[in-house]
Amino acid sequence: MPIAYAFAISYPEFLLKEKYQYKNFIVRSDKVIPTEIEGLLDKVSLNLSRSELYKDDMTFNIYFCHSKNLFAFFTRNKNAGGVVNGIISANAFIREADILNNEIIPSNGWLLSRHDRPLSYFLAHELTHSLQSKYDRFMIVKTEPFIMEGYADYIAKRHRYQTHRCHHNHYQTSL
């Protein structure tokens, strides 16, 4: 059974038939993928390209699971925004989302702000875990969780940090 599960996580295309390819992203879903995803992927690409682990020739596989049961099957965490099972595969599984509004559809009891963590954030965060997995498949077991998650959060929100720093430096020089 574990081999069949690892195979399903590595090759989930048979359950997610819709496909949209844009630049170095292959997006699959159990629902039609709107072309507006390109704008989100451009934002995600910009954030990922700032990572030291990023290479221009990398391909990223994103799987949107609009079915709660399908998402729970792939991730074993029905409440997460997304998951990468790094040792098995660098595929990113994302929960139900509203691509047109750049929003993740929260599970019951969701505590995170949709404004602070839009869909583009979750994509960049999970694809940073893909970068980590591509760099070292076992990084997830060799590295402290706060470093793994902190780095993914840093890359996903990097535009905010740089904007803040620019304003801060401007403030310092104008004194």
pLDDT digits (tens, 9 = 90+) for 22-51: 999 999 999 999 999 999 999 999 999 999
d(C-alpha 31, C-alpha 105), whole Å? 14
166 has pLDDT over 50: no
Helix 158-173 and helix 145-156: axis angle, to 10°?
Answer: 70
Helices (H) and strands (E) in the chain, counts: 7, 7
How much is the average pLDDT of 129-138?
Answer: 95
pLDDT band at 170; cut points 50, 70, 90: very low
Q: pTM, whole model, 2 decimals?
A: 0.87
The residues near 85 (Cβ < 8 Å, ≥ 6 apart) are: 9, 74, 75, 91, 93
- Per residue in 78-120, pLDDT tens? 888 889 998 899 999 999 999 999 999 887 756 566 667 899 9
144 vs 81, residue with greater confidence: 144
So what's the pLDDT on residue 112?
Answer: 61
d(C-alpha 125, C-alpha 168), whole Å? 25
Name the fold adopted by 2-166. Glutaredoxin (3.40.30)
So what's the pLDDT on residue 20?
Answer: 98
So what's the pLDDT on residue 163?
Answer: 47
So what's the pLDDT on residue 16?
Answer: 95
So what's the pLDDT on residue 172?
Answer: 43
Candidate from 13-22, 120-129, 162-171 with smallest mean pLDDT: 162-171
d(C-alpha 37, C-alpha 5), whole Å? 29
d(C-alpha 81, C-alpha 124), whole Å? 12
So what's the pLDDT on residue 12?
Answer: 95
- Per residue in 50-69, pLDDT tens? 999 999 999 999 999 999 99
CB 59 within 8 A of CB 26: yes
**φ, ψ for residue 72, nearest 5 deg:** -65, -35
